[in-house]
Chains A and B, each alone.
Chain A
Amino acid sequence: MTAFPCVRCKAELASDLPPHATVICPACRMAHVQAADGGTNAREEVPAPPPSSHGIRVGLKGELDGVPFTILGRTIQSQGKNRWSEWCLLDRENRTHFLSDAQGALHLLKLRGTRPHAPSPASITVGTRLELQPGEVFHVRERGETITVSAEGQLPYEVVLGQRIAFADLDAVGGALATLDWREGMEQPPDLWDGYATTPADLALAVGKSGAPDAFECPSCRQVSPLHLGAETISVGCPKCWTLFQRGDTGWVSGGPQKAGARPLLSLGRSGVIRGETLLVAGVMRRSCMVDGESYGWTEYFCLVKDRAQGTPEQRHRWLMEQDGHWSVIRPLGRGDVSSAGPEHVLFQGDSFKEFSTVRGITESVLGEQPYACQPGDAALLTDYVKPPRMVSAEDTGDEVFWTLGDYVQRSEIAAAFPGVELPAPDGIAPNQPNPARGTAMWTLLLTAAFWVVILLVYFIISGGARDAQVARFDITPSPPPASPEADPAAAAGDSAFYSEPLTITANNRNVQVYVSGAPENDWESVDITLIHEASGTVRGTTLQLESYRGVEDGENWHEGSTVDTGYLANVPKGTHVLRVDAECGRKPCGAVTVSLRSDVPRPMYAFLLLFLLSLVPILGFAYAQYLETRRWMNSTNTVGGEG
Chain B
Amino acid sequence: MKSLIEKFGKPGGWVIAYALFGTLMTGSYVYAATTGWDWGSEKGDIPAEVRNSQHGYRTYSYWHSGHHWHGPTFLFWSSSPYRGYRWGK
Interfacial residues, chain A to chain B (CB-CB below 8 A) = 434, 438-440, 442-444, 446-448, 451, 454-455, 458-459, 462, 481, 484-485, 491-497, 499, 509-511, 526, 528, 532, 536-543, 567-572, 578, 580, 582, 584, 600, 603, 606-607, 610, 613-614, 617
Contacts and interface: CB of A to CB of B under 8 A. Distances in A.
A485 B62 CA distance: 12
Contact of A570 (B14, B25, B72): B72
Contact of B25 (A444, A446, A539, A610): A610
Given A454-B26, A543-B86, A603-B33, 20 more contacts: A447-B15, A481-B63, A492-B60, A494-B59, A494-B60, A496-B60, A497-B63, A511-B41, A532-B46, A537-B45, A537-B51, A538-B43, A538-B45, A539-B69, A541-B43, A541-B69, A569-B41, A578-B57, A607-B29, A614-B26
25 contacts: A443-B4, A446-B4, A447-B22, A448-B22, A462-B33, A485-B60, A485-B61, A492-B60, A495-B55, A495-B60, A499-B58, A511-B41, A536-B45, A539-B46, A539-B57, A539-B69, A541-B42, A542-B41, A567-B41, A568-B39, A570-B38, A571-B38, A582-B87, A603-B38, A607-B33
Given A439-B8, A443-B8, A493-B55, A569 B29 contact: no
Interface in B1-58: 4, 7-9, 11-12, 14-15, 18-19, 22-23, 25-26, 29-30, 32-48, 51, 55, 57-58
B10 to A, nearest CB: 8
B66 to A, nearest CB: 13
A541 B12 contact: no
B15 A606 contact: no
Given A442-B8, A584-B87, A458 B42 contact: no
A571 B35 contact: yes
A496 B26 CA distance: 44
A458 B30 contact: yes
B32 A606 contact: yes
B15 A571 contact: no
Interface of B: 4, 7-9, 11-12, 14-15, 18-19, 22-23, 25-26, 29-30, 32-48, 51, 55, 57-64, 69, 72, 86-87
A279 B67 CA distance: 78
Contacts of B14: 440, 444
Given A448-B22, A462-B33, A571-B35, A537 B57 contact: yes
B18 A444 contact: yes
B15 A443 contact: yes
A495 B55 CA distance: 8
A537 B48 CA distance: 8
A633 to B, nearest CB: 21
A434 B9 contact: yes
A442 B5 CA distance: 11
- Sorted nearest first, the 4 A-B pairs with minimum C-beta distance are A439-B9, A570-B41, A570-B38, A568-B38
Contacts of A614: 22, 25-26
B4 A495 contact: no
A600 B62 CA distance: 29
